[in-house]
Amino acid sequence: MYKIAVKGIPMVIVIFLAYYGLPMLIQAFATVFGIQTNPHTVPNWVIIIVALTSCVSAFQAEIIKGSLNAFDKGQAEAAQSLGYSQWQLFRRVLFPQMIVSAIPDLVNSFMVIMKAMSLAFAIEVVDIFAKSQLTAALNFYYLEAFLVAVVFYMLIAFAVTKMADSIESRLRLRS
């Protein structure tokens, strides 16, 4: 039910729900446990982390589920016939193959999160996009400011992709 509900809700709506709802939720829990707190002191970056985590976790669960489904049951049977315990099967056979097949999709999800961070400006969290927008508003060089933001995003994407490719190739050699 969670995956179905979260996949259909736009990320910006979840951000605003977290922005307005999280302080009320904190207040409710604090009241139940008898703790005095001011829930409106929650930093906006914490709200963004909660909102993006709740959005992306449903997609991450599907990635892990897909990589688990790609695992051949015959390998598990072979490992059990060799006397592997469930932990050894997971650690030595299942996990190395699962992580290799999941890395490209996990990196793709990281890129989605990176792009979604520009929505954080809606609740006053400044990221690369927001900084370029603020800089452009000061000197009216909008095109140049946004091109610099594009370069930053591309550099981050390039570095993360290269790092993931390197990890994936090393893990493929091991398994």
Domains of the chain and any CATH numbers: 2-174 (1.10.3720.10)
Q: Residues for the chain: how many in total?
A: 175
Torsion of CA 103, 128, 122, 109, to 10 degrees: -10
Model confidence pLDDT, tens digit, residues 83-122 = 999 999 999 989 988 988 899 999 988 888 888 887 777 7
- Which residue type sits at 107? V
Residue found by looking up tokens 């792009």 in the block: 115
Helix or strand or coil: residue 175?
Answer: coil
Cβ-based neighbours of 40, under 8 Å, separated by 6 or more = 23
Cα–Cα nearest to 45, from 115, 149, 107, 124: 124
Longest Cα separation, the chain:
70
**Residue 1: Cβ-neighbour burial (10 angstroms; 0-12, 13-18, 19+):** exposed
pLDDT band at 10; cut points 50, 70, 90:
confident
pLDDT one-digit tens code per residue, 15-61:
889 989 999 998 898 889 988 888 788 888 888 889 988 888 888 98
Q: How far is CA 1 from CA 21, 62, 103, in A?
A: 20, 13, 26
For residue 108, is it left (φ>0), alpha (ψ between -120 and 50) or beta?
alpha
